[in-house]
Chain A
Amino acid sequence: MSEIGQYIFNGLMLGMIYAMVAVGFTLFFGVLDVIKFSHGDVLMVGAFAGLTASIAMTAVGVTSPVLQLLGMVLFAVGLTGVLGAAIAKFLILPLHKAPPLNTLLATLMLGTVIREAVRLFYPDGSNPKRFPALLPTSSFELGSMNLRVDNLILLVAGLTAIAGVHFMITRTKLGLAIRAVAQDGETARLMGINFEAVVLFTFALGSGLAALAGVMNGLYYNEVNFGVGLLLGVIGFAAAILGGLGNMYGAIIGGFLFAALQVLGSVLLPALIPEIPSAYKDVFAFTAVIIFMAWKPTGLIAEKTSERV
């Protein structure tokens, strides 16, 4: 039984990370109608930025875990925020008028550029790197499950981050501006909202969230490697679509849903076919996504679209 508990807990962790990535996708889509596929690799940059910050701080002599964590998060979020805004300004906005598949393709390629750049230019980039374990590693028993404090902290942190973003979008003036631009860019401009600034800020926000997810990923697995962005990007995208593009709640649901699919796969499949390798859970999850897309082409919470004929 505790096995199931462990699976569920793991699923929650993964779902959290996926949800954070999915929220980013959905934000970008809502604001500019674009799919920024390099999002997963931006996450990876965030993780590496955190790693670099940690190395730098250790070199300078700052070794307190709390300070390192703080520095890591700040640096990662800051760097990727700037990166996200730069991507928006130089790639996404110019391609705004082009067919959407061009933007998708361009951002896919950008993701490859980012991934290869880290692999080639970060010292020893092609090898997985150890991420410092900065969270307390004690654990306590809850029933027959072994819960670790660090995992709990990560879970709570992720929830807080998402709640924070949600709060910002729904309760603040800036959030109102973002929602206005998402709904109707032209009218928002007419109402005096600085379109470009809002777009850049949204991208920075989404990327910062991804960086946080990247740091969390690193802390959870104690490892970062340059390839982690690709799969997370695809899964985040799938999750955003599952929940319906443009809808933040949908993205969060989608993230946890995908993780649930994976957990379901790892629990169900061995029950049906003994000794099946656990990697089949990905096959299972993606097949489920494809079938789901055939059933509900625009996701759980359908996108309200209108097409100019």
Chain B
Amino acid sequence: MFSRKTALAGSALLAGAALSLLSVPALAKDVVKIAFIAPLTGGVSNMGLGGRNSADLAVRLRNEDPKSKYTYELVSQDDECKPNVGVQVATKVAADKRIVAGVTHYCSAVAMATVGVYHRFNLPIIVWGAVLPDVTYGNTYNEVHRVNGTMINQNEVAAKFMTGLGYKKWAIIHDTTDYGKGHNKFFSDFLKKSGGTILGTFGVTADQQDFTSELTKIRELNPDVIYFGGLTPLAVRIRTQMEKLGIKAQLQGTSGIKSDAYISGAGKELAEGSLSFIEGAPWEKLPGGLFFTGKYAQQNYGEPAEAYGPFAFAAANLIMNAVEKVGPDRKKVMAVLNKTNDVNTIIGKVTFDDHRQNIVPLISKYVVENGAWVLWEESSYGKGKRKLAGL
């Protein structure tokens, strides 16, 4: 009875061991793994998927290049735009020794939470979408870089522009993550400097459903503009509920709402006239824009690249250039990235300052017109043919 069981167990174990050993893949010599982390599911998944496709495009193009010394593999992980999930996948990725560097995060809340993890494991990363300044300016970790701009410029331009149009009174709604709070802080400062008045500020949770309390109070306050610092899903709900309560103020958003999901979520009529401000230039104006758009279309991805796709593409290329130069060593790649100065990428010249932040001076203004985001200067509103709410 005994020995039969032991024999059975023993042989089964041996068989299993043999099988698993056989199926361990022999490591190909030149594969270098790069991580990509973004919200691939959830309310802002379109931005994450766009970024992933763009990074994937960069890797594919590089692998087709016969001159590259290594074969690159993109390991993508989903951070669900939640800080705790982000920390989990960041730890997973950073703990994996075969991953040399990462292109990480669209959500600022997640980026803020994970900087410590990358520093702990010495994994160099380049942020491609999070705009909170503290992600780079709030620490001295040499691992953390960023190619897109911060919300400081965005809000400064927005404040000047809106007061320039003639608006005087604002109500501010912002989500309570670091992202929303950052927007609130910077916009409030710049708005006061530009001469606008803030009638009330309201913090909301990032997954809040019902805004009746906030909007009822706002209706009493009667502002010209409602500024919303947060992401698309909330913006959709706020815009819809504004309509239900009969609030006629203009909705001003940040880069967080510049996505097609906002228009399809709120519907063409309600989305009409909403404003958004975003760092960088539209594709047609980027140096490598046409090239990027063309190659992207060729791959037939299921999702568009969205606003930050080019940044993800550029970040992936910066990493791969560094690996080509010094090999797949985390510390060496980090050193190369730190010294990035005037490097040509499809988004223009990239220089990392002493806090490893790329300075993107250009801010583009967008308005929703007839169901699509249009550059302000090219829209009927910008040309004076139509007027925004309250003007």
Q: Report the nearest A residue to B233, measured CB to CB.
A: A128
The 8 Å CB contact of A279, one of B205, B237, B245, B267, is B205
- Bound Cα distance A139, B201 (Å): 28
| A172: B residues at CB distance < 8 A | none
CB of A115 closer than 8 Å to a CB of B: no
The 8 Å CB contact of B42, one of A126, A130, A279, is A126
The 8 Å CB contact of A3, one of B208, B217, B240, B246, is B217
- Bound Cα distance A128, B41 (Å): 11
User: Do B212 and A222 touch (CB < 8 A)?
Assistant: no
Known contacts A130-B267, A279-B204; is-contact A10 B212 (Cβ 8 Å):
yes
- Bound Cα distance A77, B139 (Å): 55
CB of A266 closer than 8 Å to a CB of B: yes
Task: State how many angstroms separate the Cβ of B145 from the closest Cβ of chain A.
Answer: 30
Task: State how many angstroms separate the Cβ of A120 from the closest Cβ of chain B.
Answer: 9
Task: Annotate A209-248 by CB proximity to B: 1 below 8 A, 0 otherwise.
Answer: 0000000000001110001100000000000000000000
Would you list which residues of chain A between 1 and 48 have a CB under 8 Å from chain B?
3, 6-7, 10, 14
Task: Annotate B149-167 by CB proximity to A: 1 below 8 A, 0 otherwise.
Answer: 0000000000000000000
Task: State how many angstroms separate the Cβ of A185 from the closest Cβ of chain B.
Answer: 39
| A102: B residues at CB distance < 8 A | none
- Bound Cα distance A222, B201 (Å): 25
Known contacts A146-B246, A223-B240, A275-B201; is-contact A7 B212 (Cβ 8 Å):
yes
Known contacts A223-B237, A277-B205, A279-B208; is-contact A126 B214 (Cβ 8 Å):
no
The 8 Å CB contact of A128, one of B202, B236, B245, is B236
Q: Report the nearest A residue to B41, measured CB to CB.
A: A126
| A127: B residues at CB distance < 8 A | 42-43, 45, 233, 261
User: Do B265 and A130 touch (CB < 8 A)?
Assistant: yes
Would you list which residues of chain A between 40 and 58 have a CB under 8 Å from chain B?
none
| A139: B residues at CB distance < 8 A | 246
Question: How big is the B interface, by class?
Answer: 35 or more
Q: Report the nearest A residue to B214, measured CB to CB.
A: A278
Task: Annotate A120-134 by CB proximity to B: 1 below 8 A, 0 otherwise.
Answer: 000000111010010
- Bound Cα distance A130, B235 (Å): 13
User: Do B43 and A277 touch (CB < 8 A)?
Assistant: no
Would you list which residues of chain B between 313 and 365 have a CB under 8 Å from chain A?
none
User: Do A7 and B216 touch (CB < 8 A)?
Assistant: yes
- Bound Cα distance A277, B241 (Å): 18
Q: Report the nearest A residue to B203, measured CB to CB.
A: A277
Known contacts A3-B220, A127-B42, A130-B264; is-contact A281 B236 (Cβ 8 Å):
no
| A130: B residues at CB distance < 8 A | 236, 264-267
CB of A189 closer than 8 Å to a CB of B: no
CB of B177 closer than 8 Å to a CB of A: no
Question: How big is the A interface, by class?
Answer: 20 to 34
User: Do A7 and B213 touch (CB < 8 A)?
Assistant: yes
- Bound Cα distance A146, B240 (Å): 16
Task: Annotate B238-259 by CB proximity to A: 1 below 8 A, 0 otherwise.
Answer: 0011001110000000000000
- Bound Cα distance A223, B219 (Å): 22
The 8 Å CB contact of A223, one of B42, B236, B261, is B236
CB of A296 closer than 8 Å to a CB of B: no
| A96: B residues at CB distance < 8 A | none
- Bound Cα distance A278, B17 (Å): 57
Task: State how many angstroms separate the Cβ of A271 from the closest Cβ of chain B.
Answer: 12
| B267: A residues at CB distance < 8 A | 130, 133
| B209: A residues at CB distance < 8 A | 221, 228
Would you list which residues of chain B between 190 and 220 have a CB under 8 Å from chain A?
201-205, 207-214, 216-217, 219-220
User: Do A148 and B208 touch (CB < 8 A)?
Assistant: no
Q: Report the nearest B residue to A220, measured CB to CB.
A: B244
Task: State how many angstroms separate the Cβ of A287 from the closest Cβ of chain B.
Answer: 17
CB of B222 closer than 8 Å to a CB of A: no
- Bound Cα distance A133, B245 (Å): 15
Q: Report the nearest B residue to A128, measured CB to CB.
A: B233
Most chain A beta-carbon neighbours within 10 Å: one of B207, B210, B233, B241: B210
CB of B379 closer than 8 Å to a CB of A: no
Q: Report the nearest B residue to A13, measured CB to CB.
A: B212
Would you list which residues of chain B between 257 and 310 have a CB under 8 Å from chain A?
261, 264-267
User: Do A146 and B245 touch (CB < 8 A)?
Assistant: yes
| A277: B residues at CB distance < 8 A | 176, 202-205
- Bound Cα distance A223, B261 (Å): 13
Task: State how many angstroms separate the Cβ of B50 from the closest Cβ of chain A.
Answer: 14
Q: Report the nearest B residue to A151, measured CB to CB.
A: B244
| B236: A residues at CB distance < 8 A | 128, 130, 223
Task: State how many angstroms separate the Cβ of B40 from the closest Cβ of chain A.
Answer: 9
- Bound Cα distance A130, B260 (Å): 13
| A7: B residues at CB distance < 8 A | 212-213, 216
- Bound Cα distance A114, B211 (Å): 27
The 8 Å CB contact of A6, one of B42, B203, B216, is B216
Q: A6-B212, A10-B212, A223-B237 are in contact. List 7 more A-B contacts (CB 8 A).
A: A6-B219, A128-B236, A221-B241, A222-B240, A228-B209, A277-B204, A279-B208
Between-chain CB contacts (< 8 Å), 27 pairs = A3-B217, A3-B220, A6-B219, A6-B245, A128-B233, A128-B236, A128-B237, A130-B236, A133-B267, A139-B246, A146-B245, A146-B246, A151-B244, A221-B240, A222-B240, A223-B236, A223-B237, A227-B207, A277-B176, A277-B202, A278-B204, A278-B211, A278-B213, A278-B214, A279-B205, A279-B208, A281-B213
Q: Which 7 A-B pairs have the closest CB atoms?
A: A278-B213, A266-B213, A126-B41, A10-B212, A277-B203, A6-B216, A146-B246
